[in-house]
Amino acid sequence: MRRTIILLAAFVVTSCASSAQTKIQNRFLGLEIGQTYSDMLEIPELGGCRSRDCRTDDRPEHTFVEQFKDMRDIRFGGRVWSNFRMFFSPSGTFYMVGLSNGYGTPGEAGPEYQALLRDLDSKYAHVKGIVRKEKDSKDGTRKSVTYTGSDGSTCNVSLYRAEGMNNNMYWYVKLDYWREDLKAAAQEEIIREM
């Protein structure tokens, strides 16, 4: 009897651990992709709450939590990212998150990209139901790998060259998570509003 209980407990623990690795991450700072901006106001960890005591002044509540949509120097996945951004559709649905770091040379950015790619490969590359697709530009200024789950959840890591805010050229390592259906719907919404 005792042996049966131990085996059953081991089976449950292994099942839970393996099922946790069968889909692409979709929760960030307590908010799940697909939830709304209003849901974000209810997450105490993000500083969101609806009472007047939670506001820093008399500005509307959405202004108070606005700072959590764009953050600097945030720790995620064992790394410190200089930029973190949450994307919401015009109607307020959270559909994507993006993290990035800028580097002065490809010699600095390349090893960071490769290390991140190894971590993501160990997490997603051999999981049933997740498809891995690699894409490189012909001129060598862009590399990316996309992992897409059967539910449309997507993770993309990329290395690319682009102009920074100060008009200098940088190499960026970018990590994005989104859900295909929500991203497409948000883009349609944005176009309709133009």
Per-residue model confidence as pLDDT tens digits over 62-93: 434 455 577 888 898 899 999 999 999 989 89
Strand pairing category for 153-163 and 169-179: antiparallel
Angle, alpha carbons 36-38-44 (nearest 5°): 110
Three-state DSSP class for 179? strand
pLDDT in tens, 147-157: 999 999 999 99
Confidence of residue 55 (pLDDT cuts 50, 70, 90): very low
Distance between CA atoms of residues 161 and 64, nearest Å: 34
Is the per-residue pLDDT at 105 higher than 90? Answer: yes
| Tokens read off for 154 | 């997507």
Distance between CA atoms of residues 68 and 46, nearest Å: 7
- Contacts within 8 Å (CB) and 24+ apart, 187-193: 189/89, 189/90, 189/91, 190/89, 190/90, 193/90
Range 108-134 average pLDDT:
95
Distance between CA atoms of residues 84 and 157, nearest Å: 14
Burial degree of 87 (CB within 10 A; 0-12, 13-18, 19+): middle
Q: Which stretches does DSSP call E strand in the chain? A: 27-28, 31-32, 70-76, 79-88, 94-103, 130-136, 142-149, 153-163, 169-179
What local confidence, expressed as pLDDT, does residue 140 receive? Answer: 81
Is the per-residue pLDDT at 181 higher than 70? Answer: yes
Q: Which residue has the tokens 């990329």?
A: 158
**Which range in 9-13, 43-47, 75-79, 103-107 is most confidently predicted, on average pLDDT?**
103-107
